[in-house]
A and B are shown apart, each in its own frame.
Chain A
Amino acid sequence: MKINGEKIAKGILTLVAFSALASLLLIAVFIFKEGFPFMLKVGIGDFLFSSTWNPQVGQFGIYAMIVASLYVTFGAMLIGVPLGIAGAIFINEFLPRALMRIIKPTIELLAGIPSVVFGFLGVMVLAPFIREHLGGPGLSVLAASVILGVMVLPTVISISSDAIGAVPKSYREGALALGATRWQSVHMVTVKAARSGIIASVILAMGRALGETMAVIMVAGNTVKIPHAVTDPVRTLTANIALEMSNATGMAREALFATGVVLFVVIMILNGIALSVIKGRGGMK
């Protein structure tokens, strides 16, 4: 009886695990089925490397959006990663345990704030600030990067700080015993030992920044144009899909699925890199 129950539980759990995999597969197959024929029809080169997007008259070029997605993501990393890693180091190495127990959950709470709230802050506070002090329309690469940079902070901080926390105490003690100052032991020993976890946190954050949609639609301005300054507005791949989905039919709809294919591939590549980095470095905790 007992063994039977266990078998049933195992069966159910296996089924659940595979159904998760199956839906991932279904999503992938569906997106490719809808989008890939379109890419072949328009020409992969034209689709990927032309930046005229005018679906109503049959111009489908997403180059400007690919560039925009990369710029915005890179900008977010530029802001979020140094802050995040510094925060993680500070929390683990310099903060008293008691304070850490309060601050860490608070930072993780940041991850629970809906993206539309970040977007709203961006529209109401950040964009007018940029417009007044730096010029341009305010809704821009810079605004999107700052908002996304803040949004990825919890990801970077919590994963990096887990990795740093997992570094054996003996490493630090060894460094200190050899006469290293506290800072030297942190950046020469602890951070180096936690490197794989920190890199993983950065790549996960990158995936999140690349995939974020709502906040970006609200603050990026959505202009289909290759930006020449950080104050120029841009449209990212995700924003393009969300913006035009409701009105798109026929070719325009297929073009959005094809945009999804490109996004899917980029995110898969990033995740692949993340996995191989974690594996190659002997894994984090």
Chain B
Amino acid sequence: MRRNFLKTCSACAAAGIVLVAGCGKPRESITMAGSTAFQPFAEKLADQYMNTHPAVSITIQGGGSALGIQSALSGTAQIGMADLVTLPKEADAMKRVVVARDGIAVVLNPANGITGLTLEQIRGLFSGTVKNWKEVGGADHAVAVISRESGSGTRTSFEQIIGGVTLTANALIQDSNGTIRETVANDAYAIGYLSHGLINEKIKPVTVDGFSCTEKDIMAGSYKLVRPVYLVYRDGVSPACQAFLDYLLSAEAQELLYTNGLIKAK
């Protein structure tokens, strides 16, 4: 108890220092908050932008898509980032623009022989009606379903696109794209899903209805598991903020997103 208490105290003190230090800057400051999946990309773009525009200071915060929309609504952030297939009703009051698109890859352990699944099979696996890999043509072993926590933008989008899924109560829950990747990489019979920019050699994306999670199939519209990354903002943002929004949609920024693993907005 006492140890926790000390921790809380020091955290409060640290937060206080940060708050004090953050005040009184003469520079124009922009805050972006929301999706943790888009956050690293936003940071890269912001760094790039600040290099050429030293008068602007951009802060990128995570917190999740829901928080991004909340912050943009309440004004704690000028721009909210949300990677959801459909934005919640609260966002209707704001302007929105698609800054990029992100494929959601269904991933297996490389030791798993299966290379492709249908949407129907994925639905079965994640809702728990398919319990053994042999039911979808794999080895005779129980399926370990790995999912994100409820409220996660990736999970919300995934469930919406797959449609009619109530996640099986047996699913393991991991709280980030990275830990999903680690868990799938460590368990030969696991299935999970994650942002397509995070695929690496330790895990294996499967084809969905015969189409692969690659830029080509996503752009052609044949790979179905794609979600847009929205930026939401209130009417009448400052000129500096508008300039930054324009930059995000410029060919240069879009190219940077593309080389880092996202799909261009257009």
Binding site secondary structure of chain A: helix
Q: Which residues of A contact B175 (CB under 8 A)?
A: 217, 222, 242-243, 246
Task: Tell me, in angstroms, the Cα distance from A128 to B63 when the chains sit together.
Answer: 31
The verdict on A211 contacting B150 (CB below 8 Å), with A127-B186, A223-B170 known, is no
A residues 15-70 in Cβ contact with B at 8 Å: 20, 23-24, 27, 53-56
**Residue in contact with B36 in the complex, picked from A123, A207, A211, A246, CB distance below 8 Å:** A246
Q: Which residues of B contact A55 (CB under 8 A)?
A: 150-151
Indicate if A84 sits at the interface (CB-CB under 8 A).
Answer: no
Q: Which residues of A contact B170 (CB under 8 A)?
A: 223, 225
Indicate if B66 sits at the interface (CB-CB under 8 A).
Answer: yes
How near does chain A come to B33, taking the closest CB pair, in angstroms?
A: 11
Q: Which residues of A contact B153 (CB under 8 A)?
A: 247
Size of the chain A interface, CB-CB below 8 angstroms: 38
Interface string of A191-225 (1 = CB under 8 A from B): 00000000000000001100100000110011111
Q: Is the Cβ of A222 less than 8 Å from the Cβ of B187?
A: no
Indicate if B245 sits at the interface (CB-CB under 8 A).
Answer: no
**Residue in contact with B1 in the complex, picked from A131, A222, A271, CB distance below 8 Å:** A271
Task: Tell me, in angstroms, the Cα distance from A218 to B186 when the chains sit together.
Answer: 13
Q: Which residues of A contact B66 (CB under 8 A)?
A: 247-249
Task: Tell me, in angstroms, the Cα distance from A23 to B182 when the chains sit together.
Answer: 39
Q: Is the Cβ of B169 less than 8 Å from the Cβ of A246?
A: no
How near does chain A come to B160, taking the closest CB pair, in angstroms?
A: 11
Task: Tell me, in angstroms, the Cα distance from A28 to B70 when the chains sit together.
Answer: 26
Q: Which residues of A contact B183 (CB under 8 A)?
A: 139
Task: Tell me, in angstroms, the Cα distance from A127 to B149 when the chains sit together.
Answer: 20
Indicate if B9 sits at the interface (CB-CB under 8 A).
Answer: yes
How near does chain A come to B57, taking the closest CB pair, in angstroms?
A: 24
How near does chain B come to A234, taking the closest CB pair, in angstroms?
A: 10
Q: Which residues of B contact A249 (CB under 8 A)?
A: 66-67, 70, 151
Task: Tell me, in angstroms, the Cα distance from A242 to B1 when the chains sit together.
Answer: 18
**Residue in contact with A222 in the complex, picked from B8, B64, B67, B172, CB distance below 8 Å:** B172
How near does chain B come to A6, taking the closest CB pair, in angstroms?
A: 26
Q: Is the Cβ of A223 less than 8 Å from the Cβ of B36?
A: no
How near does chain A come to B65, taking the closest CB pair, in angstroms?
A: 7
Q: Which residues of B contact A224 (CB under 8 A)?
A: 169, 173
Nearest A residue to B3 by beta-carbon distance? A208
Interface string of B149-178 (1 = CB under 8 A from A): 111110010000000001001111111000
Task: Tell me, in angstroms, the Cα distance from A131 to B142 when the chains sit together.
Answer: 12
Q: Is the Cβ of B182 less than 8 Å from the Cβ of A123?
A: yes
Q: Is the Cβ of A27 less than 8 Å from the Cβ of B8?
A: yes
Task: Tell me, in angstroms, the Cα distance from A221 to B192 when the chains sit together.
Answer: 13
Q: Is the Cβ of A20 less than 8 Å from the Cβ of B5?
A: yes
B residues 123-140 in Cβ contact with A at 8 Å: none
21 A-B contact pairs sorted by A residue (CB < 8 Å): A23-B8, A53-B150, A56-B151, A123-B186, A127-B186, A137-B187, A217-B175, A218-B179, A221-B173, A222-B172, A223-B169, A223-B170, A223-B172, A225-B170, A235-B173, A246-B64, A246-B67, A249-B70, A249-B151, A252-B150, A271-B1
Residues of chain B at the chain A interface (Cβ within 8 Å): 1, 3-5, 8-9, 12, 36, 62-67, 70, 144, 149-153, 156, 166, 169-175, 179, 182-183, 186-187, 190
